[in-house]
Amino acid sequence: MSSSMSRRSALGLGAAAAVAGMSSPAEAAENGTRSIRKVYQREKSRAGGVWHTHIAAVDATGTPKPIVEDDADHVTHGYSVQKLAVATAVMDKIDRGGLTLGTKLDLPADIILGGSGIYHLHRVWGDEITVANFLTAMLLVSDNTAVRMCGRVVPALEINEILAAKGFVHTRVEPVANPNRFFLGTTTPREMHDLLWRLATKTLLKPESCDFLLSITRWLNGYHDGVRRVMSSKERERVATKYGAGFNDLGESRHEAGIMFSANGVPLLTYAMFAEGLGDPENYGATHPAVQAHSRIGRTMMDNLPATTAARTVAPRSLPHPFHPVDGG
């Protein structure tokens, strides 16, 4: 220690620094907001392309307040993020008694689509599968054939009618000549935030239907390349997420939307990040620049979630089914 500073002085400075480092819940929340905004802007610039984003976190009253509003009302192709909207329409029909999760449909060879998913890997088809089966495949591994299965129980026009009745203006599938088939269509970051928040607070559908969709999108066998990449298994259980990828005349698109919960199931933050006009075509893996950006933004959001006490008025809660490895038997 320098002769010009006594031990007592050094201890006094240390105590002052500790006090300065302590912040009120409001200050902590503002610091977290700044961190998320800073990392978002940095990662957006690194990845390139054109981004349309809405990120919101709850305030002290439990109300979600925007952190990032970056062209959040832009209407864009949602690609596989739209499967959340399709699943919502199917569950709405179940809630109204027009269908059940146990309703069975055949899985014929002529309905099989390639791309993401599992059904095209079977090589033989003809199974009878439940609505619960293909909804799980559609949301967990983004199965494209499952979209066609959804169209068989809720045709394209009916899907759009359901979404309109729920107040969504731009979230639509795109009908084709076959009434039971469609392209996944468009949405906006703000409308996807609204869908996610209502799902998390169990006002989008019946509570048990919301829980069903959340249980799938939070499960550990889902998508991990983006927001959930740099997280422990326990942290991943606290994030419900859906990824989407595609391309158009602007270039590549890489999207991700989801909800983050506290450890005791309180919804704290929503994110809807739609990036288009990107490079690195045909790279659908974790090394794509936009997907790498999602992972860094995701880690920052998790590290800066509002305190659970700040969201004490939010109800009801959604607890995950804890993951435990099983060795057969």
Six-digit token string for 87: 């699943």
Contact call for residues 274 and 76 (beta carbons, < 8 A) = yes
> What is the full DSSP assignment across 134-185?
HHHHHHHS--HHHHHHHHHHS-HHHHHHHHHHTT-SS-EEEE-SSTT-EEEE
Under a CB-based contact definition with an 8 Å cutoff, are residues 188 and 170 in contact? Answer: yes
The pTM of the full predicted model, rounded to 2 decimals, is: 0.90
pLDDT in tens, the chain (329 residues): 444 445 444 444 444 444 445 667 778 888 999 999 999 999 999 999 999 999 999 998 889 999 999 999 999 999 999 999 999 999 999 999 999 999 999 999 999 999 999 999 999 999 999 999 999 999 999 999 999 999 999 999 999 999 999 999 999 999 999 999 999 999 999 999 999 999 999 999 999 999 999 999 999 999 999 999 999 999 999 999 999 999 999 999 999 999 999 999 999 999 999 999 999 999 999 999 999 999 999 999 999 999 876 555 556 678 777 787 888 88
Residues 287, 280: Cα–Cα separation, whole Å: 9
Does a structural domain hold residue 157? yes
Q: Within a domain: residue 10?
A: no
In a domain, 246, yes or no: yes
In this structure, is residue 148 part of a structural domain?
A: yes
Domain count, the chain: 1
In a domain, 175, yes or no: yes
CATH code of the domain in which 165 resides? 3.40.710.10
Please check whether residue 123 lies inside any domain of the structure: yes
Enclosing domain of residue 32: 25-311
Whether 316 is in a domain gets the answer no
Domain assignment present for 222: yes
